[in-house]
Structure 1
Amino acid sequence: MLPQKVIIDTDPGVDDVLALLLALSASAEELQVLLISLTFGNIDVESCLLNVVSMFHVLELERKWRLESGLPVGFGCLSAHKPIVAVGADTPLEEKAIMADYFRAFYTSSLCAAESWSAPHFTPEQTWKHMFATTPVLKKDEEHPPNFSPTNNPAHKEILRVLRENPVDSVTIIAVGPLTNLALAAEEDPEAFLRVKEVVVMGGSIDVPGNITPNGEFNTVACPYSAARIYSLTSPNPSATAPPPPITTKKLKPIPGVLSRRLNLTLFPLDITTPHLLTQETFTNTINPLLSYPSYPSPLAQWTKIFVDVTFAKIKESCPSETIGDGGLSLHDPLCVYYVLTRRRGGWEALEDRDLRVETRGQWTRGMCVVDRRKRRVVGAAKPVLLGDEGVWLHCGFGNRVRQMVKSPDEKEVAGEMLRRIYGGA
């Protein structure tokens, strides 16, 4: 069976990095990571780039350590194919970034800061800043990194390129940050964007509280217009459910009324991601043997311990258990990768065709997910109109059709399998 081709759009990020490690630790037969596209999010996009380049640097050290130690090298996905890394959006389409006072900003930035003073040998000398559009293009004689390919092309253009160069329905996008890169790609060429097999999104909260506002999840609140625009592509008539134009200086094309096909979108909101926990005990028990290895410690175990321990400390210090789970790190982003890795096994449960919209302008409800749960229909009407709905819901008969994932095969197994894959050389 051929490997599943994926694009990972991310704002790394602690759980983002764990999601990337989970994907790259897959076998060559399971996954082929074609592109890692970076977006702003919990931190600025330049720090996201440093985090990703540091991760690749540590993975190279880890693979050498495993060879020298006589252990399975693992990371077959990475060995078989070098992913492209592209830098994308540095602000939301609304041009109103929100990240300063959110606790995840603390431990996400600590991924850079902690390693710089605790383990400077894990920070690569070359941070590949030439990948930004404002800096020179990579020189021909410049040494390329060993396990990824940098590009100067903006992330949304790389997304479109990958989708155009691969057969229709052969590439899955795993989006675990704000959806700005995806919205820019869909705005530039919606038909090319709709060649995607499935878009797997970590975002939103439906029947549970938000994690940044009472009703808002961070990724969706960070750029609600992008989320609303992407969700509208699941509708038979995207213009009917599209959000009003954002307050922005960017000139955006209107969303088409009719497209050749609907977007296949699977949503992982906080409702399902929050209960999937990694406890400090499980993490510590996994990496301790690698930290006391006879030769010298595992570079990957050393590196991840730095920022994961900082994260656990911050969770215990700042967050009530009902917000972040029962004393553990919720595996929001890794769960999306885990789904792609295991969906062929079955056991996943979803609510199909949910008419889900995102509030883009509310003072208190920015980024709130609103689901139409009404079932009453006007009998004999030319269009399926809800009784009493006079256009407030923007032509409900052409509503969005989002798949909301509600249950994994076994939430207690996700953390264990993730750690075995990342650290076990499987």
Structure 2
Amino acid sequence: MAPKNRIIIDTDPGVDDVLALLLALSASPEELEVAMISVTYGNVPLQSVLRNVVALFHVLEKEMAWRTSTGNSKGSYGALITYKPIVAIGADHPLEEEELVADYFHGTDGLHGVHDKHPHLSPADTWRTLFDDTASSPVDPPSFSKYFTPSKGPAHKEMLRILREEPEDTVTIVAVGPLTNVALAASEDPETFLRVKELVVMGGAVECEGNVTPVAEFNCMADAVAAARVYALTSPTPSSTMPPVFQGKSFLPAYPARLSRRLNLTLFPLDITTPHELYKKVFNDKIQPLLEQGSPLAQWTEIFLNGTFNKIDSMLGEGHNAGLSLHDPLCIWYMLTQDNPAWKPVPHLEDIRVETCGQWTRGMHIIDKRGRAKPAVEDSTVRTNPEDPLDAVTLDQIPGDDQGWLHPKKGNRIRRMVSSPGRDIFAGVLLDRIFT
């Protein structure tokens, strides 16, 4: 049975990351296969987010046993049961910046203390040896969980292995954390990385305010250099938007001058994700009957989601009725329903660039709004060797355009999503898929 989509989820769980993973694993096997979960630092440090991923599978194992015992397992979590994703550990810090975390919002463990409040739903500490390539593990990795396979190799190398072994344009990467793992894979073997069908990124703020600074969104701010490097692969000339080298040094090398293709990147910035909200009453109305019946998944999610709702109330004050923005789950909904014509991007690919040096603007997503048209490619002064169309001999400057905003071969080419099948229905879809 061939799945509709094979995906790698690069993630830093995190409350909405966990909801995104649950949505993906609750899909039918015809809709989706999660080939790998690539774990990165982000909302909290790496070992905490890794624990949250392992705990998620532990809870799902208990949930499926409970559903079976109550006769409610039929048709649920088909992707979880049919496939067995790899879980691999990635970067524990950004490429060049200091680590930025969001434990002020997600709690010190990333899930508002759920491990302390429900220790029976947390995995035994032997999980820590599963990913340690220097330890002789007392646990047989394949038997630790029937729902995932631990990898002792780095996440970015596993990412490249899957892309190398699978046919071109059959695997999509859904990146819902800082882009460090993705940047490492792209740097190590750009041609293999470009075999990816699509890179779906939750990140950035384009026409709206940021959520960690006035102009920057968390994932991009957490590793702006990684984001800039990844976005550059969408350009006909990646060097035109690569981040500048700092004091003559760069952690990763430049890309080759010639690449066989451009990266197909679809961006989900705060502009579209923030309005897709889950409200406290809607969530609690859904899970209350399940709590009374003894659902382990309802018990687990109730702790960190109500912890999040309480945190939002404390930040905004009573009376705001603010919901939890479903940033990361929206990217998974896109993977499940991308044939729906209600998904609408900006009509043209956009030259969106990431600021990596600004004192106040690091992580900002920048578009040229000056209204000056780019010359048509056929009218440009770009000259190529007819024996090798990929070999750009010269890329002449356009007067007054030192940064290449008007040059037809410079700048990024990003597909930015602006409309979904329904911001008012998504929370209900999410809850039904996860809990029904």
Report the TM-score, using the length of structure 1 for normalisation: 0.92
1:46 aligns with 2:47: yes
Q: 1:402 to 1:326 in 2, by over 3 A?
A: farther
Aligned to 1:109, the other structure's residue is in SS state coil
1:344 CA displacement:
1.8
1:168 CA displacement:
0.4
Q: 1:64 to 1:141 in 2, by over 3 A?
A: closer
Per-residue deviation, residues 172-194 of structure 1 (Å, max 9, x unmatched): 11000000000000000000000
1:13 aligns with 2:14: yes
Equivalence for 2:120: 121
1:310 aligns with 2:307: yes
Report the TM-score, using the length of structure 2 for normalisation: 0.90
Between Structure 1 and Structure 2, how many residues are aligned? 416
CA contact (8 A) 1:14 1:108 kept: no
Equivalence for 2:337: 342
Aligned to 2:339, the other structure's residue is in SS state helix
Q: 1:8 to 1:377 in 2, by over 3 A?
A: closer
1:358 pairs with 354, 375, 379, which one?
Answer: 354
Equivalence for 1:423: 435
Separation (CA, whole Å) in 2 of partners of 1:130 and 1:316: 39
Q: 1:171 to 1:381 in 2, by over 3 A?
A: closer
Separation (CA, whole Å) in 1 of partners of 2:168 and 2:113: 42
1:57 CA displacement:
0.3
1:253 CA displacement:
1.4
Per-residue deviation, residues 245-293 of structure 1 (Å, max 9, x unmatched): 3579774111223210110000000000000000011101110110112
1:115 CA displacement:
1.9
Give the aligned residue type for 1:19: A
Give the aligned residue type for 1:60: E
1:9 CA displacement:
0.1
Per-residue deviation, residues 44-90 of structure 1 (Å, max 9, x unmatched): 01001100011100000000000001113411001001100000000
**Most deviating of 284-293 and 15-24:** 284-293
Equivalence for 2:231: 231
Separation (CA, whole Å) in 2 of partners of 1:248 and 1:18: 42
1:392 pairs with 387, 393, 403, which one?
Answer: 403
1:369 CA displacement:
0.3
1:346 CA displacement:
2.4
Q: 1:292 to 1:247 in 2, by over 3 A?
A: farther
Structure 2 unaligned segments of length 5 or more: list them.
383-394
Q: CA RMSD in A?
A: 2.4
Give the aligned residue type for 1:243: P
Separation (CA, whole Å) in 1 of partners of 2:249 and 2:181: 17
1:136 aligns with 2:135: yes
Aligned to 1:355, the other structure's residue is in SS state coil
Equivalent residues in 2 for 1:11-410, closer than 5 Å: 11-73=12-74, 74-99=76-101, 102=102, 105-112=104-111, 114-126=113-125, 128-132=127-131, 135-136=134-135, 138=137, 141=140, 143-245=143-245, 251-293=251-293, 297-319=294-316, 327-351=322-346, 352-373=348-369, 374-377=371-374, 380-383=379-382, 389-393=400-404, 396-397=407-408, 398-410=410-422
* Overall identity of the aligned pairs, in %: 50
Per-residue deviation, residues 290-322 of structure 1 (Å, max 9, x unmatched): 0112xxx10000000000000000001014799
Separation (CA, whole Å) in 1 of partners of 2:39 and 2:58: 17
**Most deviating of 175-184 and 70-79:** 70-79
Per-residue deviation, residues 185-243 of structure 1 (Å, max 9, x unmatched): 00000000000000000000001100000100000000001100110100111112211
Separation (CA, whole Å) in 1 of partners of 2:37 and 2:344: 27
Give the aligned residue type for 1:328: G
Separation (CA, whole Å) in 1 of partners of 2:243 and 2:267: 18
Separation (CA, whole Å) in 1 of partners of 2:186 and 2:12: 19
